[in-house]
Structure 1
Amino acid sequence: MDTTPVDLSHLFEQLGLEGQPNAIAQFMATHKLTSQIHFIEAPFWTQAQKSFLTEALEADAQWTELIEQLDTQLRKP
């Protein structure tokens, strides 16, 4: 059983990114998505990150809600 806390910080760590609040804020400020780009196909994801995100969404895993929230946040102007 996976006991990893399910929060944005840990999602970033699962993606191999820095999970500290300032690093998350920097990521959000420098990575934006338009409505024409599918979240998984964003050019800034590595293949490993795309795989993790795809598998988590397809399995409706514990990360699904946070992934959807991240998608929404990256689309805000």
Structure 2
Amino acid sequence: MELPNHDLKELFDQLGLPSSRAEIERFIEMHRPLPQGMRLADAPFWTPAQAQFLNEEFHDDADWVPLVDQLNALLHVQAPH
């Protein structure tokens, strides 16, 4: 069985967020860095539905997990100066 191969655009679509490359980059720049130790789903900018989706996908080890992990890493990185 072949697993779905999602990308960040699809994850942003799933979250109901603007999903062009520029909009994704803008979102990441605007919200990073998340405090060390803060879980992605606990970030204050998510709606309750978005946070629930992120929690469920992570805990269910769903096919979105690699993308959720990638977004988590991108949001925890300090912006370059």
Tell me the percent identity: 39
Structure with the greater relative contact order (CA < 8 A, sep ≥ 6): 1 or 2? 2
Please list every run of 5 or more consecutive structure 1 residues that lacks an aligned counterpart in the other structure: none
- Name the residue aligned to 1:19: 19
- Name the residue aligned to 1:31: 31
**How does the TM-score come out when normalised to structure 1?**
0.90
- Name the residue aligned to 1:73: 74
What whole-Å deviation, never above 9, does each CA across 1:3-61 have from its counterpart, x for those lacking one?
x7511000001000011000001001100201142211100010000111111011111
The separation in 2 between residues aligned to 1:71 and 1:15, in whole angstroms, is 14
The separation in 1 between residues aligned to 2:62 and 2:50, in whole angstroms, is 15
Q: Give the counterpart letter for 1:6 in structure 2.
A: H
The separation in 2 between residues aligned to 1:6 and 1:37, in whole angstroms, is 24
| 1:60 is aligned to 2:61 | yes
Please list every run of 5 or more consecutive structure 2 residues that lacks an aligned counterpart in the other structure: none
Tell me which stretches of 4 or more aligned residues in structure 1 moved more than 3 Å.
Answer: none
The separation in 2 between residues aligned to 1:30 and 1:49, in whole angstroms, is 17
